[in-house]
Structure 1
Amino acid sequence: MKRHLIFIMFSVFFLPSTTVSACSIVYYIDKISGKIYVANNEDYWLDTDAYIQIEPQSKNKLARLWYGWDDFAQGGVNSAGLFFDGAVTPKLNDSKKYKKIKGNLGDHILAHCKTVNDALALLQKEKIALGNAHMVLGDATGNAVVVEWINGERKLIHIKDGYLIATNFLLSDPEKGNYPCYRYKSIEQRIQKLKSQDTTADMRSFGNVVGGAVQLPQQDSNGKSGGTLYTSFINITDMEFGLIYKLDNNKITRFNLKEEFEKGKRRVIPLK
C-alpha cells in the first residue's frame, strides 16, 4: 500500500467545541470486488498522546492492532479480520443488568473474538454495556452491526445495502440527541457516489468517503485545541492498515497487517 493511495481531500467544517469528542465510523463492502473496508475519524483533543499498539498471538489470544491512548483501545482489528470502534452518544444506559467497563474492553474483544457474532456473545455473556456510546463491529465475512444500549435494552443495527455508518447519535433513537448529523450525511452521500461508479474501490477512493467529515483544529473558550486527531483506514480483505495523524498526509503510518502479525512482536508506536 503506497502512501498516495490513502491521500484524502479533506473538507473544511467549523464546529463548536462541544463536538471535540465526536467520531465517524464506516464499514463498506465494495460491490465489484467484494473487498471490505473500514475507516474512522477520531475527533478529540489534539494534545492527546495517542499511539498504535500491536499485540502478538499467544496461546489463548489472537494477534491484534489497536489505536487509542491511556491503555485503552478506541478502535482496532485482529488477525481474524474482526474490527471494532466506538463513538460517544447521549447517555441512556442506567440499567443495573450490565457491568461498568473495567480494563481495556477493545483489546479484550480483539484478543478473544474472530467474528461479529463472537463479539456479541462475549458482550452478552459478560454483561457489558456502554453507558454513553455505541460500538461498531465488523468482520471479514461481511457481517457488521452497531450495538446500542438504551435503558437496559440492547439494540442491534445491522449492515444494509453493503455499508454501515455510525457517528454520535443513536441509530435506534435519533431524536435523543446529536441529530441531524452533517458528518453522517456527508459519509452517506459519498458512499452512494462510490457505489454508483463502475470501478473497483481501493484505499484511496474509499478513504475520501470520510474526507468531508473531519474537523479542522480549533480552540475552545479556554484555548485548548481539538479536532481530528487521526483518521484510520483498514482493508480487511487484504489486511492493509493506514493511519493519517492530524490531517497531515505527510504523517502516515501504514502496515501490511498479515506481515506485522507474523513477526510475533509487541510494538507501541507513538503518533506524532
Structure 2
Amino acid sequence: MPIQIDIPNLGCSTFTAQNTKGGRFFGRNFDLSYSPAALVKTTPKDGYASMSMVNLGFLGYDKEKLPESFFKSILTLAAPYIPLDGINEKGLSIGVLLIPTEETNQQTDKVDITTTTAIRMILDKCATVEEAVAMLKQYDMHSSANSCYHFQIADASGDSVVVEYINNEMKLVEPKDSYQAATNFLLTPGDYDFGKGQDRYATLMNTLKEKNGVVSQEEAMKLLESVKQDWHKTEDGSMSATQWSVVYDLENLSARISMGMDFDDIYEISLLEK
C-alpha cells in the first residue's frame, strides 16, 4: 500500500504506578492536532494478542475524511503497523514520546526498524520489560518523521524502563521508586535534559510520590487529566491538545479511554472481549 506515515510534533505524557488492588497501571496522554483515533486489536498466530491506540491522521484521515464506508476504510488495514501505545496479553505496555532533538539513525550491520515498527514487534513478541529491551538491542533504530523519540515500557510484574537514544546509543533509565514517568525531555543523567514537558513531569512524579506510587483507577485517570494540554499553538504554528488519555490495567488486561479531554465519558474495553 502506498502509505507515507508522518509523525509530526507530538507531545505526550506517560506514567506507571501500582493500583490499590496490587496490580499495575500504565497511563498515557497523546497530545497533537486533531487526531481521529482507533483502538486496534490484533491476534497474530505466532505472537501475543494486543490492543493499541492508533492516530488515523497518520493515514490521511481527518474531520472531513473518516473511515465511514468500506472503500473509505481500506487504508485502516495499515493501522496495526502504526501503534503509539498499547498493551498485550502478557500485561506488557508501551508508549512513545517525542524528544525535540536530532533523529535517531543507528548505522551498524543490524536489521533496520522504525519507531512504530518497534512498538508493533514488542507488543507481538515480548512478555516483560527485559525481553523488550533485549529485542530493541537486536536492531538499528531509525526514528520516524525525522525526529527523536523515547519509549516507556512497563510490565505486570512492576518492572519499568524508559528507553532513550543519545548520539545513536541506547540508554536505559530505570525507576528510582515503584513508579516512573516520562514526558518530552531526556531523562538520562548528564547534559541531556533538554526538551519540554518538565512541568508535566513534575506534576506526575510529585503526585505519585505523595501517594507512595499507589493510585486507584479513578485517580490514575485524574492524574492524566491534571497534565492534559489544552488547545495551544505549537512552534510550527499548528494547534495541539490532548487527543486521548488511556489507563491500561496490566493485570486485568483492560483499557479506560477518554477521547478529546472528555473525562466524563470513559470507554472501558477489555483485551479479552471478542
TM-score under structure 2 length normalisation: 0.77
Distance in 2 (CA, whole Å) between partners of 1:180 and 1:254 is: 28
The verdict on how the C-alpha distance between 1:222 and 1:158 changes in structure 2, with shifts beyond 3 A counting, is closer
Instruction: Find the counterpart in structure 2 of residue 73 from structure 1.
Output: 83
The verdict on how the C-alpha distance between 1:212 and 1:103 changes in structure 2, with shifts beyond 3 A counting, is closer
Deviation at 1:224, TM superposition (A): 4.7
Distance in 1 (CA, whole Å) between partners of 2:115 and 2:252 is: 33
1:21 aligns with 2:32: no
Q: Which runs of 4+ in 1 moved over 4 A?
A: 173-176, 219-224
Instruction: Find the counterpart in structure 2 of residue 85 from structure 1.
Output: 95
Which of 202, 209, 219 pairs up with 1:192? 209
Which of 30, 46, 50 pairs up with 1:60? 46
1:49 aligns with 2:36: yes
The verdict on how the C-alpha distance between 1:225 and 1:161 changes in structure 2, with shifts beyond 3 A counting, is same
Deviation at 1:85, TM superposition (A): 0.4
Instruction: Find the counterpart in structure 1 of residue 64 from structure 2.
Output: none
Instruction: Find the counterpart in structure 2 of residue 238 from structure 1.
Output: 252
In the comparison of the two structures, how many residue pairs are matched? 236
Instruction: Find the counterpart in structure 2 of residue 117 from structure 1.
Output: 130
* Amino acid of the structure 2 residue aligned with 1:233: V
SS at match of 1:104: helix
* Amino acid of the structure 2 residue aligned with 1:111: D
Percent identity (aligned): 22
SS at match of 1:208: helix
Deviation at 1:112, TM superposition (A): 1.1
* Amino acid of the structure 2 residue aligned with 1:37: F
Deviation at 1:211, TM superposition (A): 2.2
Deviations 1:116-156 (A, max 9, x none): 11111211123335460100111111111000111122110
Residues 90 and 170 in structure 1, CA contact (< 8 A), matched pair in contact too = no
* Unmatched tracts of structure 1, length 5 or more: 1-18, 264-272
* Unmatched tracts of structure 2, length 5 or more: 1-7, 60-78
Instruction: Find the counterpart in structure 1 of residue 172 from structure 2.
Output: 156
Instruction: Find the counterpart in structure 2 of residue 101 from structure 1.
Output: 114
TM-score under structure 1 length normalisation: 0.78
1:40 aligns with 2:28: yes
Instruction: Find the counterpart in structure 2 of residue 7 from structure 1.
Output: none
The verdict on how the C-alpha distance between 1:222 and 1:138 changes in structure 2, with shifts beyond 3 A counting, is closer
Distance in 2 (CA, whole Å) between partners of 1:49 and 1:174 is: 37
Higher relative contact order at CA 8 Å, sep ≥6: structure 1 or structure 2? 1
